[in-house]
Amino acid sequence: MSTAAEILTAATVPAPTVPGDRVVSAPWPARLLDAASAYLPLLLMAALALGTWWLVKNTPLFDMDRVPAPLRHEPDYTMSQFMVQRFAPDGAMRIQIEGDLMRHYPDTDTLEIDNPRIRALAPDGRVTLATARSALSNGDGSEVQLSGGAHVVREALANGEPIEFRGEFLHYFVNAERLTSHLPVSMKQGRTEVRADTFAFDNLSRVVDFKGRVHAAFAPFRRAEK
């Protein structure tokens, strides 16, 4: 009679393979799963490499050397019923520009102004007033081209009379205190009036240069009373 230990040992020991016995292989889905499991890391690495290549190829690059497109001559902002003031380094106001409408063009850094009204102060404190139907000014207001009924009045010196300039075009250089025109213009001071085809006025040197056809009417000389 066999003992319980001998029966348990016989049950757990696999039966020996007898020559000629048929070996049953695993089903094909199982074999396919085993093969896929073996190659899974390689497939994942290939998929990762392919995805990285696609991202690099389709990601837009920042071109630091790209030339920016030229600015178009269109206003980037407008202002209506405006007033702009410019000041000297010492804090003194140098020019004040008012108007009905202002358009700023970034490509030329210029201002187009409808019905401008300009008030400029020279270092000596004298005031110059200018008006016109339109004006074209540079960005800092130091150079203004007045068009259409341009009128500039410069305050008089002590015991003097103001000087007035009129024309269809006046080019006003604020800092240099110069006024020029390539079109007919008239200058008037008191009872003296001069008309010319073109002119250039330099206030710092006190010189007026008239060119073309010049017509002048001078006030009669008055003797000083005794």
Tell me the average pLDDT across 160-174.
Answer: 94
Q: Which position has the higher pLDDT, 63 or 81? A: 81
Could you tell me if 136 and 110 are in contact, meaning their C-beta atoms sit under 8 angstroms apart? yes
Q: What residues contact 119, with CB distance under 8 A and at least 6 apart?
A: 95, 96, 127, 128, 129
pLDDT at 8: 42
Query: Which numeric CATH code is attached to 77-183?
Result: 2.60.450.10
pLDDT band at 206 (very low <50, low <70, confident <90, very high): confident
Q: What percent of the chain has pLDDT over 70?
A: 75
Least confident window among 12-21, 30-39, 50-59, 186-195: 12-21
pLDDT at 204: 86
pLDDT band at 140 (very low <50, low <70, confident <90, very high): confident
Give the DSSP H or E segment for 34: helix 28-58
Domain-wise residue ranges, the chain:
77-183
